Amino acid sequence: GKTDKIFDPGADISRGDFIIMLVKALGLSARIESNFDDVKASDYYYEALGIAKKLGLAEGTGGNKFNPNVKITRQDIIVLADRAMKLVKKVNESKSSHDLST
């Protein structure tokens, strides 16, 4: 939800919020050694983005930036979800697009 009393399932999701959900859903963890230049230690998504960066899940948008407050695109969701599923070994690289139809 957006607050303790507001749930807005139709709202857009930011890039930072999606990373938080992905990291939490998959139980990912890592020692954070660095983060993106546009992410401050005081940001609520700092830890999740640091984990995602360390594990190679999030590569950013170039120039060591992530743009965490920008609305995430469907394309970015698919790329991040694919990397995450490979990271936790839920998807085999040898599978084909035909496997998705089943």
Given a contact cutoff of 8 angstroms between Cβ atoms, the answer to whether 68 and 49 are in contact is yes
Buried b (16+ CB within 10 A) or exposed e, 38-66: bbeeeeebbbbbbbbbbbebbebeeeeeb
Burial class from Cβ neighbours inside 10 Å (0-12, 13-18, 19+) for residue 35 reads buried
What SS3 state is found at 96? coil
Predicted confidence (pLDDT) per residue in 4-46, tens digit = 898 888 899 999 999 999 999 999 999 999 999 999 999 999 9
**Residue 97 in this model has a pLDDT that exceeds 90:** no
Predicted confidence (pLDDT) per residue in 39-75, tens digit = 999 999 999 999 999 999 999 999 999 999 999 999 9
- Tokens read off for 35: 């983060």
**Residue 99 in this model has a pLDDT that exceeds 80:** no
